[in-house]
């Protein structure tokens, strides 16, 4: 293969998934977007292998694929809204509602033949019912089946306290469910919440720490497409920037279309930051950015911003350069990465 390839040590990755699922009672795997780099279909199949009965997708656009590859229930994390044009009504779909008017509209639109989660508005402030709106939401339910109550917590913050306070609200509310779906609680926080609220069936919705919990099982390789010796001061690339030293310019597969980008724009770096860069004495001071490609054991510098499908990397003369056709390691953010090839080993 050539390009950017995700290589998965499947035995090790699956051991990690099994251990995670075994340690996480009530787990609802989240399968959305680019499928955390693996693709959503594979993750749905893995969820079946793990014996899980419900999966969560991000949007309605992701529901048809999920229903086709997974036999159990499919929960939609984004709330139902009356203006959405791709809503899927199916007995295996669980809708999220976060506005009193939406509860009423969904009940009317489906003749009450839908399964719903009521979502509470947390400090995330993304979607959800205020605690004072719960009674109104319950009154608007009609024949809708309530499958649970859900909260989505931020990644930073006192999540346990917020989850506990919502659990208390739920237990004293008229919402007739004891199933409490939560997002972004640690396993220790989940344990504490279960001890404090033994009447509730607490179900964590988790993507990243499940699918990407063992990064050691994953490697991303990029093909070296071309290689040129360059001299200090020689100008290369779209931007014709001078090379900082003698070395090699490598053209490596992987660019913006793979989700490979730059760090913060250099132009906005303040005086302090530039001072720090100068103190480090690195190429950063000269306006270069560190690339995610590792060559001869070290992360190397972009010779210029990544192109659509390839990047130009400067490797100083002192380093050993790979041959054209070899591949090198590249660090990616899996939730934004697109791969040319995928191999389960």
Ligand X SMILES: *Cc1c(COP(=O)(O)O)cnc(C)c1O
Residues that bind ligand X (CB under 6 A): 30, 32, 77, 152, 183, 205-209
> Judged by CB, which is closer to ligand X: 126, or 196?
126
HEC letters along 262-287:
CCCCHHHCCHHHHHHHHHHCCHHHHC
What are the tokens at 291? 């690339």
What are the tokens at 298? 């070290």
> Judged by CB, which is closer to ligand X: 30, or 103?
30
- Taking the complex as a whole, the smallest distance from the CB of residue 119 to ligand X amounts, in Å, to 8
- Taking the complex as a whole, the smallest distance from the CB of residue 84 to ligand X amounts, in Å, to 16
Do 182 and 151 form a contact (C-beta atoms < 8 A)?
yes
Please tell me the distance from the alpha carbon of residue 75 to that of residue 193, in angstroms, as a whole number.
Answer: 23
Beta-carbon count within 10 A of 220 CB: 22
> Judged by CB, which is closer to ligand X: 30, or 220?
30
> Judged by CB, which is closer to ligand X: 204, or 306?
204
**Residue nearest ligand X by beta-carbon distance:** 207
- Taking the complex as a whole, the smallest distance from the CB of residue 77 to ligand X amounts, in Å, to 4
Beta-carbon count within 10 A of 281 CB: 8
* Structure letter (DSSP) for residue 77: S
Closest by CA position to 153, among listed 125, 184, 121: 184
Please tell me the distance from the alpha carbon of residue 321 to that of residue 343, in angstroms, as a whole number.
Answer: 25
- Taking the complex as a whole, the smallest distance from the CB of residue 208 to ligand X amounts, in Å, to 4
What are the angstrom distances between the C-alpha of 294 and each of 198, 231, 251, 268, 326? 49, 21, 13, 26, 13
- Taking the complex as a whole, the smallest distance from the CB of residue 41 to ligand X amounts, in Å, to 18
> Judged by CB, which is closer to ligand X: 208, or 336?
208
* b/e sequence 145-172, b meaning 16+ C-beta within 10 Å: ebbbbbbbbeeeeebbebbbebbebbee
> Judged by CB, which is closer to ligand X: 207, or 254?
207
Closest by CA position to 103, among listed 6, 175, 185: 175
> Judged by CB, which is closer to ligand X: 55, or 312?
55
| Run of H or E residues at 324 | none
Helix 10-22, helix 40-49: angle, nearest 10: 60
> Judged by CB, which is closer to ligand X: 209, or 294?
209
- Taking the complex as a whole, the smallest distance from the CB of residue 183 to ligand X amounts, in Å, to 3
Strand, coil or helix: what is 50?
coil
> Judged by CB, which is closer to ligand X: 36, or 314?
36
- Taking the complex as a whole, the smallest distance from the CB of residue 71 to ligand X amounts, in Å, to 22
- Taking the complex as a whole, the smallest distance from the CB of residue 123 to ligand X amounts, in Å, to 14
- Taking the complex as a whole, the smallest distance from the CB of residue 124 to ligand X amounts, in Å, to 9
């Amino acid at each position: 293969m050539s390009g950017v390839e995700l290589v998965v040590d499947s035995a090790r990755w699956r051991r990690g998934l099994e251990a995670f699922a075994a340690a996480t009672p009530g787990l609802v795997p989240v399968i959305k977007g680019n499928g955390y780099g693996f693709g959503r279909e594979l993750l749905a199949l893995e969820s079946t292998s793990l014996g899980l009965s419900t999966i969560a997708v991000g949007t309605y656009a992701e529901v048809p694929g999920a229903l086709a590859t997974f036999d159990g229930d499919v929960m939609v994390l984004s709330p139902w809204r009356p203006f959405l044009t791709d809503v899927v009504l199916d007995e295996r779909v669980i809708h999220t509602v976060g506005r009193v008017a939406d509860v009423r509209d969904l009940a009317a639109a489906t003749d009450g033949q839908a399964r719903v989660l009521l979502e509470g508005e947390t400090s995330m402030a993304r979607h959800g019912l205020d605690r004072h709106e719960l009674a109104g939401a319950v009154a608007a339910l009609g024949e809708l089946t309530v499958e649970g109550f859900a909260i989505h917590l931020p990644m930073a913050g006192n999540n346990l306290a917020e989850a506990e306070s919502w659990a208390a609200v739920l237990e004293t509310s008229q919402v007739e469910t004891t199933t409490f779906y939560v997002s972004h609680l640690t396993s220790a926080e989940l344990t504490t919440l279960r001890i404090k609220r033994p009447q509730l069936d607490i179900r964590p919705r988790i993507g990243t720490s499940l699918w990407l919990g063992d990064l050691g099982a994953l490697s991303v390789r990029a093909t070296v497409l071309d290689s040129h010796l360059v001299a200090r001061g020689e100008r290369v690339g779209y931007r014709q920037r001078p090379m900082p030293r003698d070395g090699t310019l490598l053209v490596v597969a992987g660019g913006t279309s793979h989700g490979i980008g730059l760090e913060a724009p250099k132009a906005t770096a303040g005086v302090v930051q530039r001072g720090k860069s100068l103190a480090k004495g690195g190429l950063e001071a000269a306006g270069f950015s560190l690339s995610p490609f590792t060559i001869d054991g070290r992360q190397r510098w972009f010779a210029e911003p990544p192109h659509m499908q390839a990047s130009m990397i400067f490797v100083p003369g002192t380093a050993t350069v790979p041959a054209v056709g070899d591949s090198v390691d590249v660090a990616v953010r899996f939730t934004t990465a697109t791969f040319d090839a995928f191999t389960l080993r």
